[in-house]
Amino acid sequence: MVLIIATGYALAFHLRVRAAIGWVARSPNNGAQAAVLIGFVTMVSAWFHWGLTLILGGVLARELGRRLHQQGIPAHYRSDVQ
């Protein structure tokens, strides 16, 4: 179990994956789109690596919250994370 989480963490914080997260985080225009995007990305990543899904969902939610806040777009961060 620890190996799954550790490899998921290593994959989620790889430079190319971080760049992809930044690219994906630019696309939503409101909080609802951000919540759908987080759900979709985590469901797709679950097909590849279960540990990556756990870490990637949190990293993507944090990055989306940061981007939406910088753009002045209102979003309910708790609903995006859950």
- Does pLDDT of 77 surpass 90? no
pLDDT tens column, 15-54: 998 999 989 988 888 888 888 999 999 999 999 888 888 8
Per-residue pLDDT, 11: 86
**Could you count the other beta carbons within 10 Å of the beta carbon of residue 56?**
26
List the domain boundaries for the chain: 2-81
Per-residue pLDDT, 15: 92
CA angle 59, 13, 32 (to 5 degrees): 20
Question: Sign of torsion, CA 11 15 19 33?
Answer: positive
pLDDT tens column, 55-74: 888 889 888 888 888 888 87
